Amino acid sequence: MRYLANLPWTIIGLILAATCFPEEFRYWKNDTLVFTVHFIWFIPKKYIGWTCGHVILINKNAKKNERLLRHELVHVEQHDRYWGLFPILYLWERMLRGYANNRFEVEARSRANSPY
């Protein structure tokens, strides 16, 4: 059921992936598609990864960055945990606490530092 709740976000992720000139993709655990893309045009350049539903976009210059992949996989788990509400909760946290103190980013950074 959680996959169904996140399906709209996954579809959005797939559409956006197609607009970022994907170089390659791989299937990952938790039914996640990881796309290596030339650039992620809709976020600031300092960010090299982005997750929407079960789709992860990784900048081609960071495709071997396992810590980044673990970080983004935590966001996939957060999507599953909060069903279809995660993007709304994430944006709310971001407005209240900013990027660095956003509880979802804090969790992702913390868990990315340990093996997945």
Q: How many structural domains are present in the chain? A: 1
Give 32-76 pLDDT, tens digit per residue: 999 999 988 888 888 899 999 999 999 999 988 999 999 999 999
Question: What's this model's pTM, rounded to 2 decimal places?
Answer: 0.90
Cα–Cα dist 18/25, whole Å: 11
Q: What is the pLDDT of residue 19?
A: 94
Q: What is the pLDDT of residue 15?
A: 96
Q: pLDDT > 70: what percent of the chain?
A: 97
Q: What is the pLDDT of residue 54?
A: 95
Q: What is the pLDDT of residue 44?
A: 86
Structural domain of 29: 2-112
Q: 84-94 in b/e burial notation, b at 16+ Cβ within 10 A?
A: eebbeebeebe
